[in-house]
Amino acid sequence: MKRRSLLLGALGAAGTAATGTAGLILGFAPPPLKDSIPLVLDPTLAGASPAGWMYRELNASVVADSAYALYREGSCMYATFGGILNQLGQEFGEPYQSFPVHMMKYGASGIGGYGTVCGSLNGAAAVVGLFVNEKSHRNAMIEDLFTWYESASFPMYKPGTDSEDIAQSTSDSVLCHASTTKWVQASGKRIDSEERKERCSRLSADVASRTVVMLNEYSRGTLTQERRVSDETAGCISCHGETGKMGAVKGKMSCTSCHDTSVGHHIFADAHYQNYEWLHPKED
Amino acid sequence: MKRRSLLLGALGAAGTAATGTAGLILGFAPPPLKDSIPLVLDPTLAGASPAGWMYRELNASVVADSAYALYREGSCMYATFGGILNQLGQEFGEPYQSFPVHMMKYGASGIGGYGTVCGSLNGAAAVVGLFVNEKSHRNAMIEDLFTWYESASFPMYKPGTDSEDIAQSTSDSVLCHASTTKWVQASGKRIDSEERKERCSRLSADVASRTVVMLNEYSRGTLTQERRVSDETAGCISCHGETGKMGAVKGKMSCTSCHDTSVGHHIFADAHYQNYEWLHPKED
């Protein structure tokens, strides 16, 4: 049970009685993203990518195997990006063949070991950037991929039918250090263990193959965006986000993975809100 | 005053008396990173980048102006990466000229609006990935750049001598949503305001020009790494990190920007520690 739902349950009665302070905790109306009509991403509306960078359909399983193997050469971002680009180069030649794939080693362990965004996601988003010209389509595909990553149990990929199962975990975050530490907690293995590297190489295969499935559908004109940020995150964004009254935050990452949404955070919400309304009036 | 120092001050006496529980709060010895000899990054030891991708010296001011202008075309990652690559293409032709710079639009607002790593840093690190073949050099340069970003007041760049000053802020984070919200708090402007975009376009110029200064020095063989993670972060890493007893976390991001290091977090540190020692014994 999520901390937030727990809190709302416990505060239900008090909240209804004391609408003044608790109103902001209970009173918001998250946009009904889950029930909205899926967004059809029609590539014919987007125009060609500059310099003729066009995606061509690939076999997702072949790419997954390639990404898994590439991980040992240059880590996660290199694995996901290279798994897709190398395959394009092998099957279709130029311009794919000449892309300097080696550069993507920079994204290892959340960019140079810094622990920020998971490199497999950075690599997948870079592929989307290379082939998807229309910003709203790019962002929809990235949202789809990133929200899937936050809630999926990794790894799913197995390098062979007789390969060992390894522990799975859900990250609730797209950040490398959070994702890997969640796996450390689930598996009981150390972060510097061989098993953790195996987990990340399998995860890179998972992300690469999902990206290919998505791009294949996009190139056929059959991709829809059905997966969006959780209602929980949408609730936070509805006030704090760029179209909200506060207009202070831009992002779609799972908020509660880091931020406390307990009573302490919102107890003075009215005063806080007034303050922000003064600071950041939404212009009509 | 940082939360952590404040806490250590308040707990000093009690900590000394009750070494059993408080020992782990007060007793760690962060590695003396700041006093260590600067790491000379000698490019002659690194070997050439694959496929002849070699950096050539640029004028940092010219690149800053270009990055500032490019922001309006494709946001932060595109601005920083394109500011450098387009200039290389203009001055030196191929292979720089044919690089598909358009792809870097994916990094906008922390990757497709998701709010993860600041796009200007993602772009700068991608440039480092393209030209720096040796992993330890890449990681050192990224650490230098990212720790600088966490502690610097942005923006510094001005698009002209008579252009308006805008509010500055320190982010204590390399994440887009944290960095921009800190600026919103400092400036009193909304996240969706024209001024916030102006701030991010100037910041992109700052990051691009610093990256060029760093790469110029690297290509001359005069670059040293003197800037590393803060002692505070080094302290956390010394236990939690991959070479620490717990071995549960990999990363260099400022820990206290998100994580609570108050008594509540460490009060049961001994039990926690034992638990982790059992879970993650450091192999000899």
ipTM, two decimals: 0.85
Q: Which residue of A has its CA nearest to B175?
A: A116
Task: Find the mean pLDDT for residues A219-243.
Answer: 86
pLDDT score, position B70:
98
Say if residue B17 is exposed, middle or buried (CB neighbours under 10 Å; 0-12, 13-18, 19+). Answer: exposed
Q: Do A102 and B243 touch (CB under 8 A)?
A: no
Task: Return the closest-CA partner of residue A199 out of A153, A155, A149.
Answer: A155
- Rounded to whole angstroms, how far apart are CA atoms A58 and A174? 25
Q: Are B207 and B121 in contact (CB under 8 A)?
A: yes
Q: Do A247 and B129 touch (CB under 8 A)?
A: no
C-alpha distance from B154 to closest chain A C-alpha (Å) = 17
pLDDT score, position A246:
83
Q: Which residues contact A229 (CB under 8 A, 6 or more apart)?
A: A33, A143, A147, A237, A252, A254
List the Cα angle B179/B199/B231 in 5-degree steps.
35
Residue B173, classed as helix, strand or coil, is coil
Q: Are B231 and B195 in contact (CB under 8 A)?
A: no
Which of B185, B190, B251 is the closest to A177 by Cβ? B251
pLDDT score, position B232:
84
Which of B128, B242, B243 is the closest to A106 by Cβ? B128
Task: Find the mean pLDDT for residues A252-271.
Answer: 67
Rg (CA), chain B: 21
Which of A51, A176, A251 is the closest to B100 by Cβ? A51
Question: What secondary structure does DSSP assign to chain A, as a single string?
Answer: --HHHHHHHHHHHHHHH-HHHHHHHH------GGGSPPEE--GGGT-PPGGG-------HHHHHHHHHHHHHHHHHHHHHHHHHHHHHHHHH-TTGGGS-GGGGGGGTTTTTTS--B-HHHHHHHHHHHHH---HHHHHHHHHHHHHHHHHSEE----SSTTSPP---EE-SSSBHHHHHHHHHHHH---TTSHHHHHHHHHHHHHHHHHHHHHHHHHHHT--EE---S-HHHHHHHHHHBTTSSS--B---S-GGGTS--SHHHHTTHHHHHHHHHHHSPPP-
Q: Which residues pair with B170 in a beta bridge?
A: B153
pLDDT score, position A20:
33
For residue A124, is pLDDT > 60?
yes
C-alpha distance from B284 to closest chain A C-alpha (Å) = 13
pLDDT in tens, chain B (284 residues): 233 333 333 333 333 333 333 333 434 444 444 444 566 777 777 766 777 799 999 999 999 999 999 999 999 999 999 999 999 999 999 999 999 999 999 999 999 999 999 999 999 999 999 999 899 999 999 999 999 999 999 999 999 988 999 999 999 999 999 999 999 999 999 999 999 999 999 999 999 999 999 999 999 888 988 788 888 888 888 888 988 888 899 999 998 888 876 555 554 444 444 455 444 555 54
Task: Return the closest-CA partner of residue A112 out of B83, B72, B250.
Answer: B250
Q: Are A83 and A66 in contact (CB under 8 A)?
A: yes
Residue B39, classed as helix, strand or coil, is strand
Rg (CA), chain A: 21
Spell out which residues of chain A touch residue B282, defining contact as CB-CB under 8 Å.
Answer: 190
pTM of the model: 0.85
Q: Do B192 and A251 touch (CB under 8 A)?
A: no
Of residues A119 and A248, the one with the higher pLDDT is A119
Question: What is the length of chain A?
Answer: 284
Q: Work out the mean pLDDT of chain A and round it to a whole number.
A: 82
- Rounded to whole angstroms, how far apart are CA atoms B88 and B84? 6
Q: Are A152 and A128 in contact (CB under 8 A)?
A: no
- Rounded to whole angstroms, how far apart are CA atoms B7 and B227? 26
C-alpha distance from B19 to closest chain A C-alpha (Å) = 27
| Bridge-based pairing state of the strands A153-154 and A169-170 | antiparallel
pLDDT tier, A235 (very low <50, low <70, confident <90, very high otherwise): confident
Structure tokens at A84: 């897709």
Per the omega criterion (within 30 degrees of 0), is the bond before B32 cis? no
Which of A102, A175, A248 is the closest to B116 by Cβ? A175
